[in-house]
Amino acid sequence: MFLQSFFYSPENTISNSFVWTIKKERKILNLLYSIVDRIYIGRIPHIGTQALGAVGLCFPIIIVITGFTNMFGLGVAPLFSMALGQGDKRKAAEIQNTAFRLLLSAILLTILGELFGRELLLLFGAEGREIPISLSYLQVYLLGTVFLMISTGMNPYINAQGYAAIGMCSVMIGAVANLMLDPIFIFFCGMGVEGAAVATVISQILSFLYVLRFLKEKKNDFQIRPGLNFPYAGKIIGLGIAPFIMQFTNSLVQIACNHVLMEFGGVMYVSVMTIVSSVRSILDTPVFAVTEGTSPAISYNYGAARPANVKKSVSIMMSLALPYTFLVWLLIMLQPEWFIRIFSSDETIMQDASRALHLYFMAFIFQSLQYSGQTVFKALNKRKRATFFSLFRKVILVVPLTYLLPHIANRRTDGVFMAEPISNVVGGLLLRNVSDNMAGVKQNGFWEREE
């Protein structure tokens, strides 16, 4: 608990943001869960590019699962941190236990996915040739849902107590196992795409067992207690609905992209989008780590009524995020092939994938404004604003543009990849302007706890 007091003390607000950013670098390890399969799948002999596209058709379902994890995991983090800042350990314990019970909804998600997986894939744009590959991956992957949601969803709570090493190790164990098991099951055992899913599930189980062991240990200040009561479910879901909607709308965007790309370019362009999305996942992680890493500092100082520290944390967050996104943009514009070859060595798609990356990352610097603004709203418990802006950029901008732009000036597949930068500029600037006001640029009403 000493570490927790140090990280959140007003004298160390600057250090606070850096320390939490370092903690959130576990996201880089967690990222391996979602992309390491694609790295190997793209190199399966003869069918690598097709298999990559087929797995890409599963992404909308996987993204929704991540959304539920974020809703119950990221939703608990600001409330838990605020309770600690107010010195209310009993409330913090009840919040954490409610979140854990909500994460058990993974069992229901698994059952629904197994029952309706084929129908969902057809709805998302899959065609006859891709269905067997997509379904073989999805049906195995879903078996690890409960292990993934609990091990990942409880990490923000573990970190908020000051046990950063525990949180990082829980992810490292699974990520390293997945990295090692994938080539064994995919190539050595000859299981192909299905082998990638088996490796992922085994890795998720290992992470889950590590987290469960910590939650049962005496050194854990807030141990898990079984029960059927959910005293803070409404507040957790209310605050966590914004990150859920961000993921759910990402799923809608992926569905829209798959439909339009299948129409204008076929499964090859779904493979290109899979590569683009994978590169985006990698390059998003540091800026997400910076913004989410600052969230506990903002929440704690907000709970402790220290507006100067809130403003300082937001300023540091932006001073780290903006230069990074500019550097990423520059590298993508100069050497897109570096990033494409992480996932595929197929020269037949290199030119198309390079053009897609250029278009998609055209306005990447504005992504830092999007993430930072969303983090400020979430950290200050401003649920209505957080939810609105989650919906605005994806549903109101990206999805309609994805269907509209391909038909303008015969842009076809190019139009799909142009929707993202346009929404980044419009949504990022608008959201950043409003979040600046919320973080104290305009002081009137800032310290109202609820909207």
pLDDT tens-digit profile of 29-48? 556 666 788 888 888 887 78
Q: Residues 413-440: what's their mean pLDDT?
A: 74
* Residue 413 pLDDT exceeds 80: yes
Q: Residues 444-449: what's their mean pLDDT?
A: 47
Q: Residues 16-37: what's their mean pLDDT?
A: 56
Q: Residues 252-272: what's their mean pLDDT?
A: 85
pLDDT score of 295: 74
Q: Predicted confidence band at 437 (pLDDT cuts at 50, 70, 90)?
A: low
**Tokens at 253, concatenated:** 């965007």
Q: In angstroms, rounded to a whole number, what is the distance separating the alpha carbons of residues 451 and 445?
A: 10
pLDDT tens-digit profile of 115-139? 998 888 888 777 777 788 889 899 9
Q: Could you tell me which residues come within 8 angstroms of residue 90 by beta carbon, excluding any fewer than 6 positions away? A: none
Q: Residues 44-71: what's their mean pLDDT?
A: 84
Q: What is the DSSP letter of 311?
A: H
pLDDT tens-digit profile of 63-98? 888 888 888 876 667 777 777 777 777 777 788 778
| Domain residue spans of the chain | 2-441
Chain centroid to Cα 330, Å, comes to: 23
pTM: 0.76
pLDDT tens-digit profile of 206-235? 989 998 888 777 766 777 777 677 777 777
Q: In angstroms, rounded to a whole number, what is the distance separating the alpha carbons of residues 69 and 240?
A: 9
